[in-house]
Structure 1
Amino acid sequence: MSHQPKSRVLDKGLWGMSAPMLVDQAVTFTIPLTDMFFLSRISDSAAAAVGAVSPLVFAGNTLLMVTAFAGSSIASQRIGANKYDTANATIMAYVFLIMGLAVLTALAINTGGAYVAGWMPLSETVETHAVTYLGIIGWMVAIWGLRASYQTILNVYGEPKWNTISNFVFFGANILGNSIVVFGLFGVPKMGVDGVAMASVAAIFCSFVFTFSIVHFKLGLRLPLRQGVREFRSLIKPVLRIAAPASLEPVSFNMYMIVLNWIVAGVGDLALKVKVYAFNTFLFCLMISVALGMATEVIIAQRVGRNEFAEADRQMRHSVKVAIWGTGLLALLWVALNQQMLGIYTDDPAILAFGFWVFVLAFVAEPARTVNIVMGSALRSTGDAAFISYSTIAVIWLFSVPLAYVLTITLGWGIYGVMSAALADESVRAAIKWWRWRKEHWKEYGVAAREAREAKRRNLMNQ
């Protein structure tokens, strides 16, 4: 297989891998801001509607992305052990899996979205916008998942720069599409929320075509189609061992965000608009922790594949430290510019009046959220996903949701109650992840360690 490319992940290290990923994520997290801008040109109600149901879209995206990253973690461990043939067969298997999940996810969002919007206490205008958006945007989620699977291939082979360009393609196409449908450029009739959704679908398709072309034509990677089909069951088993529990945590978190939006909507449209604008603004801060988390995930997976556990531990601690400083400084800038940031979307004085303290509470939660993202990525990359996922679900539904309801509704804190509950939620989950890493159970969950134990067990049975 000498004609196949070789991974350059460990040669590049954290900065070599994360620098292009940082630009990549900067573009990615600019997209919700630009979408919110175009939606606010339609109306504050349109922006609030999409913001209220966007966690459902994020849940679909997350399910597909976590599956892709679980597959890439196993492939990275195989590459760390210099087993490229098995690594490429693993890639082929998880691409197949994501294709099936993508179609199911799209259908679930497009058809089931109206029930979610109807369940929330939205005003009639806001609900109408939400139902229209969800009826289309599922296909964007499906294509996003397919693109994510190909982006992980580029990460595994140490070529994340192409993902950055892919996101620029998405960003440019999205801006152009939204401008056409919202402002009626080139003689196209002006459209509303439906036009914004269709622009997103078209933009992600352009980005996927670009990424697909780079993997197969520029990188020259040949995936073993027949082996992927023939050995699908055995190849996908270690992927599902990570993906199944790992997907529960982010999907549960996005369902938690839906519940928070439900609680805020019960306070009133004003509180919902403030929460949506503030949340989407602070999403941009995630670019640093997500980029470092992705780079750390690939590096640690290859270190674990080589049984270099001390190096993996040092890498994780260094990544967390850098991520906290980076996100903290960016979040502090957002607090200082809270009026200007909200002013991009609206000139409603009632919304602007909430800005400062909502932004302060979001800033205080940022370090804990950063720990959750980076350490969650590190633990998943080693295969230690189940405990974290189950503990996260328990914290969210037994502690965070009841706390949010009590603070927001029972005590009447309104939007500040939701933000305070979110701070408590992030802090508790971050503490659990840090404790779990220090227990070092993750050393026992790598695919090589599991296979060695299984081989030993078989030998004992055969004796």
Structure 2
Amino acid sequence: MAKTDKKFSLGMLAWPIFIELFLQFLLGAADTLMVSRISDDAVAVVGFSNQLFQALMTLFITIASGAGILIAQKLGSRNSEDARTIAIMAVKVSAVIGIVISIVLYLMPGEIASLLQLPNHLLPLAETYISIVGGGMVLIAVMAALSNSIRNTGNTKGPMYTAIGMNVVHVFFNYAFIFGAFGFPKWGLLGVAVSTVLCRLLAAIVLFFMFLGSFERTISIRDFNVFNRKLFGDILRIGWPLGVNMSCWFFTQLLIFSFIAIIGSNELAARTYMNTLEAFCFMLGYSVALAVQIQIAHLYGAGRVKEAYGIAFRAMWIGLAVVAVNAFLIFLFGRQLLGLFTENAEIVSLGVSLLGLNLLLQPGKMINMALNNALNAVGDTRYTMWTSMFSMWLIATGLAYWVGIELGWGLIGIYLCMILDEYVRGAVSLFRWRGQKFLRKAERSEADAGIKADGSGGGPLGKQSALDV
């Protein structure tokens, strides 16, 4: 038990996730920095396209995320076989969904970009980038399912090492294809797209072989024929509200990018550069939030709900301290950092204004990340879904359009509405977690099951409620 507890401790889970996220941040920063050497228009296209890809990712992240939570819960209750079956099904179903998305993006890149209001002069670049990178979305689907499954077994180091290799390969190919180095063709934005797909393919292969040995019983190729309807129903029960939640976020972000595109290409480029800088602000906090989700799901599966309740607040305060420091450092050196990406004075000025607002945005994000992940870990995913639908669509999108476009406040107005959305969702999540309603209900169910099983009058936590101690 002590060895297992150490494996699922917040620190042991969080630091490899942070390294992995940090490397992903470096990957994105290197991408943006190198693409900026092509043109600011190329940067705008990459930022716009990535929002589209992230929005579509929710179609398979639903399965991967729901499966990840269940894997941690099943391992917490010492049910490794069910955890193994859930992981196999998640990879298989995610791959099928990814193939469908890849086909659509490969065949209709221009039509999709036009529908989302991308300026006409950016369409040729968008068609190239979306068709190639979007055509490889199946790789992202498989990687998401594989890494989620591996991470929720307590092995957060494996995906981290894969991220290290992926970064090295991606930076090398980016440099080679953009600048025509080492005898490679000078392909510009086309080269960035090819580089992205190549490294994702290599990472998917590495994660797949790692996945095969992640459970007590090694997974073989013939095991991919397995399908358990009840367990798949459990994945969907937890996963579909997560999918709706994430799709709300991604699609509202995509709409926000569309609003910004209406304002102008400089504003779109500024927001893209800000995405890169913001990633540095919250990635350490997000690693804590992801780690606490795994830890709470594991504790919840083991019936240790009192510990699960307290660890969420510890993670939230740790994360708040981290993101506040990160946001302040970015604010201090923001102008110099933005100058690395572009020489356009208007874009830099817009970015610096947003960095001040970022000091308000990041704490709200952290509260959301910690408490939403805590609620998701115990299966309370419908609550986070409904609150997200309400706040994101009414405040982050509807109010942002009215303030930013109709009232003419522009990018600053849109950003203020994004901040308000984060704090509204954070407040309602805090209210829900402090109420302990879902945890108490689960504890009573466990106690009832214990009574039926042995007539002793106590579940896994004994006669006295752990939450009433």
Q: Please name the residue that 2:141 is paired with.
A: 145
Equivalent residue runs for 1:286-325 within 5 Å: 286-325=282-321
Q: Please name the residue that 1:130 is paired with.
A: 126
Q: Please name the residue that 2:42 is paired with.
A: 46
- The structural deviation recorded for 1:10 is 4.8
Q: Please name the residue that 2:278 is paired with.
A: 282
- Confirm or deny: 8 A CA contact 1:63 1:250 kept in the other structure: no
Q: Secondary structure at the match of 2:185?
A: coil
- The structural deviation recorded for 1:311 is 0.1
1:368 and 1:218, CA in 2 relative to 1: closer, same or farther beyond 3 A?
A: closer
Q: Please name the residue that 1:427 is paired with.
A: 423
In 2, Cα distance between the equivalents of 1:238 and 1:52?
34
Equivalent residue runs for 1:248-287 within 5 Å: 248-287=244-283
Equivalent residue runs for 1:179-258 within 5 Å: 179-216=175-212, 222-223=218-219, 229-258=225-254
CA offsets per residue over residues 225-273 of structure 1, 9 Å max, x none? 7776454211211111111110111111111111111111111122111
CA offsets per residue over residues 114-142 of structure 1, 9 Å max, x none? 33310244333222212221111124432
1:277 and 1:231, CA in 2 relative to 1: closer, same or farther beyond 3 A?
A: closer
Q: Please name the residue that 2:460 is paired with.
A: none
| Gap regions ≥5 residues in structure 1 | 1-5, 457-463
Equivalent residue runs for 1:3-402 within 5 Å: 8=4, 10-216=6-212, 222-223=218-219, 229-402=225-398
- The structural deviation recorded for 1:389 is 0.8
Q: Secondary structure at the match of 1:122?
A: coil
Q: RCO higher in 1 or 2 (8 Å CA, sep ≥ 6)? A: 1
| Gap regions ≥5 residues in structure 2 | 453-469
Aligned residues: 450
1:291 and 1:64, CA in 2 relative to 1: closer, same or farther beyond 3 A?
A: farther
1:374 and 1:451, CA in 2 relative to 1: closer, same or farther beyond 3 A?
A: same
**Given residue 332 of structure 2, which amino acid in structure 1 is its aligned partner?**
A
Q: Please name the residue that 2:403 is paired with.
A: 407
In 1, Cα distance between the equivalents of 2:214 and 2:224?
22
CA offsets per residue over residues 34-71 of structure 1, 9 Å max, x none? 11112111100010112123211112334434422311
In 2, Cα distance between the equivalents of 1:29 and 1:62?
20
1:12 and 1:385, CA in 2 relative to 1: closer, same or farther beyond 3 A?
A: closer
1:451 and 1:163, CA in 2 relative to 1: closer, same or farther beyond 3 A?
A: farther
Q: Secondary structure at the match of 1:158?
A: coil
TM-score scaled by structure 1?
0.90
**Given residue 32 of structure 2, which amino acid in structure 1 is its aligned partner?**
M
TM-score scaled by structure 2?
0.89
Q: Please name the residue that 2:435 is paired with.
A: 439
In 1, Cα distance between the equivalents of 2:59 and 2:286?
16
1:209 and 1:446, CA in 2 relative to 1: closer, same or farther beyond 3 A?
A: farther
Q: Secondary structure at the match of 1:284?
A: helix
- Confirm or deny: 8 A CA contact 1:166 1:208 kept in the other structure: no
In 2, Cα distance between the equivalents of 1:276 and 1:356?
13
